[in-house]
């Protein structure tokens, strides 16, 4: 399949198609001033490049969509223009361009079609807003992440205890799929920190309401991802299943909001209700409009749940396939003073675990939870590289053009990370390692948490949650090995599903040894 792609793309990639990028007169001035040259163009053979869209869907069905994107970028160039459904967009994995989009030219870009596309599920929240509205939401959310105000470590510890019980209960002949449990874990932690009331889905084997919520949330996001690939034509995909999923998510959150509002009528809402700062309390102090409160909550639930669950799942997938790395990490976990005293790790201990830090860094390099992202130019602008025959000249981006950046592909570039870029090697992040590649100044070439003004707000929260979970699991089990048979191809190219995040399509089945 991929050889065929290669041949097709070579045919399609024609530098004569530069003509399609000839700037209009007023653009020409800006373009000339900056010495812009057009990037290579990728276009399909069929009208509107519908064949390209079919290829994407075929790769998605084979659960290899990221592999497909990497192959396209390798052949079409790290920055290229793409013609699809009569619309031109830019794809880039050049760190200089990504820095310009997210930071130096931040004001020249918006979220584009994503705003409308995401609205049926996410309403008006941080992931669908720009400008002053976005800034308002970001300021509103920031206090959640101030760990002096929010005691989220307590929520994490409680949920991980519940998860360890579920791991024991769910293991069948020593094998358990950790991935679904990680999704329940992060849902329970985020709901506890944000709503003040955990879904307790890890304990809810019978009731299943947490599970139903998780399924509806997944379904909704799956639709958003498919719609996202269609750019301005996102509205073509929808229907009852999508509407039902969005309604379920909204009703679930509405119920919690209503209960909180009702409790507020009985008590003084100026005082936080339970332990620490609660986002829902702070929201209710600012507005009593249930839809506004719900939208903000759904956005933060989306941010907090799937990203960290995927990080955990890829971590254990990789650790189970790299016993040496696992052994070294377990040694670090079991040498903690708290472990020797029969206690759980402290925040300070987790922060001091150097090898754990390197492992997490490396997992997020190979499997950044948000593997592909997009912005749209709201002004004519110039990106620093990608133009001309050698790809070194600046390129002109006309107002309205969408620019997508694939962090997954960038973080596997051999010219940045070396020939072993596809290998799991945490020591590449060891500052003392003698290596021809010094990754200390990697800057925009490593970007799992995004960068610039819209950098992830939950980075510290996520790392703490992931670190604690990893350490507790490695302390609990002597070995965690591969729990299923797999082909060589599956080992090097694990099947994956993409919603807004990338998860393993086969889950994370491991064999636990005590």
Minimum separation from the CB atom of position 454 to ligand HEM (A): 4
CB 218 within 8 A of CB 301: no
Which residue's beta carbon is nearest to the bound ligand HEM? 458
CB 106 within 8 A of CB 376: no
Residue with structure tokens 């920190």? 193
Q: 300, 213, 198, 208: which is closest to 249 by C-alpha?
A: 213
Q: Which two tokens stand for residue 45?
A: 């053979």
Q: Which two tokens stand for residue 145?
A: 């992440």
Comparing CB distances to ligand HEM, the nearer of 31 and 121 is: 121
Comparing CB distances to ligand HEM, the nearer of 37 and 308 is: 308
Minimum separation from the CB atom of position 309 to ligand HEM (A): 9
Q: Which residues contact 112 (CB under 8 A, 6 or more apart)?
A: 374, 375, 376, 402
Comparing CB distances to ligand HEM, the nearer of 77 and 451 is: 451
CB 159 within 8 A of CB 202: yes
Give the separation between CA 432 and CA 419, rounded to whole angstroms: 20
Q: Which residues contact 351 (CB under 8 A, 6 or more apart)?
A: none
Residues at the interface with ligand HEM (CB under 6 A): 126, 138, 141, 190, 300, 303-304, 307-308, 311, 369-370, 373, 448-450, 454, 456-458, 461-462
Minimum separation from the CB atom of position 190 to ligand HEM (A): 6
Minimum separation from the CB atom of position 29 to ligand HEM (A): 31
CB 468 within 8 A of CB 157: yes
Comparing CB distances to ligand HEM, the nearer of 305 and 509 is: 305
- 456 among the known binding-site residues? yes
Helix 65-76, helix 50-61: angle, nearest 10 = 140
Minimum separation from the CB atom of position 502 to ligand HEM (A): 10
Comparing CB distances to ligand HEM, the nearer of 36 and 502 is: 502
DSSP helix/strand/coil, 511: strand
Q: Backbone phi, then psi, for 387, in 5-degree steps?
A: -95, 160
Minimum separation from the CB atom of position 186 to ligand HEM (A): 7
Give the separation between CA 128 and CA 148, rounded to whole angstroms: 28
Comparing CB distances to ligand HEM, the nearer of 66 and 311 is: 311
Q: Quickly count: other Cβ atoms within 10 Å of residue 53's Cβ.
A: 17
User: Which residues belong to the annotated binding site?
Assistant: 456
User: Which residues belong to the annotated binding site for heme?
Assistant: 456
């Amino acid at each position: 399949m991929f050889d065929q792609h290669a041949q097709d793309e070579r045919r399609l990639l024609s530098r004569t198609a530069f003509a399609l990028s000839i700037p209009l007169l007023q653009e020409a001035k800006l373009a000339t001033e900056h010495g812009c040259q057009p990037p290579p163009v990728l276009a399909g053979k069929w009208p509107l490049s519908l064949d390209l869209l079919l290829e994407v869907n075929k790769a998605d069905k084979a659960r290899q969509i990221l592999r497909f994107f990497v192959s396209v970028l390798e052949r079409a160039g790290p920055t290229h223009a793409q013609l699809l459904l009569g619309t031109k967009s830019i794809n880039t994995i050049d760190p200089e361009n990504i820095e310009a989009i997210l930071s130096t030219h931040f004001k020249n870009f918006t979220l584009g079609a994503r705003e409308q596309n995401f609205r049926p599920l996410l309403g008006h929240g941080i992931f669908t807003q720009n400008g002053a509205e976005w800034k308002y939401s970001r300021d509103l959310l920031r206090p959640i992440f101030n760990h002096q105000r929010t005691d989220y470590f307590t929520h994490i510890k409680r949920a991980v205890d519940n998860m360890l019980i579920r791991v024991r209960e769910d293991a069948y002949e020593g094998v358990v799929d950790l991935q679904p449990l990680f999704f329940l874990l992060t849902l329970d932690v985020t709901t506890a920190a944000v709503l003040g009331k955990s879904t307790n889905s890890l304990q809810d084997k019978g009731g299943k309401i947490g599970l139903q919520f998780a399924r509806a949330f997944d379904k909704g996001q799956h639709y958003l991802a498919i719609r996202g690939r269609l750019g301005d034509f996102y509205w073509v995909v929808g229907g009852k299943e999508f509407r039902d999923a969005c309604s379920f998510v909204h009703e679930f959150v509405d119920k919690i909001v209503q209960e909180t509002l009702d409790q507020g009528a009985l008590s003084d809402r100026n005082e936080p209700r339970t332990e620490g700062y609660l986002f829902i309390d702070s929201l209710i102090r600012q507005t009593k409009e249930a839809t506004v409160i719900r939208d903000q909550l759904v956005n933060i639930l989306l941010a907090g749940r799937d990203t960290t669950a995927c990080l955990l799942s890829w971590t254990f997938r990789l650790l189970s396939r790299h016993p040496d790395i696992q052994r070294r990490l377990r040694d670090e976990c079991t040498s903690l003073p708290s472990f020797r005293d029969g206690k759980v790790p402290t925040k300070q201990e987790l922060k001091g675990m150097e090898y754990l830090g390197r492992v997490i860094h490396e997992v997020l390099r190979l499997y950044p939870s948000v593997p592909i992202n997009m912005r749209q130019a709201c002004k004519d602008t110039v990106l620093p590289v990608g133009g001309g025959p050698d790809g070194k000249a600046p390129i002109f981006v006309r107002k309205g053009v969408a620019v997508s950046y694939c962090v997954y592909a960038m973080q596997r570039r051999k010219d940045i990370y070396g020939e072993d870029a596809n290998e799991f090697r945490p020591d590449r992040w060891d500052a003392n390692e003698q290596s021809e590649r010094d990754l200390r100044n990697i800057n925009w070439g490593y970007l799992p948490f995004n960068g610039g003004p819209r950098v992830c707000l939950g980075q510290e929260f996520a790392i703490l949650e992931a670190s604690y979970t990893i350490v507790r699991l490695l302390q609990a089990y002597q070995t965690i090995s591969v729990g299923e048979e797999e082909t060589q191809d599956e080992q090097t190219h694990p099947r994956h599903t993409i919603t807004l995040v990338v998860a393993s399509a086969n889950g994370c089945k491991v064999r636990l040894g005590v």
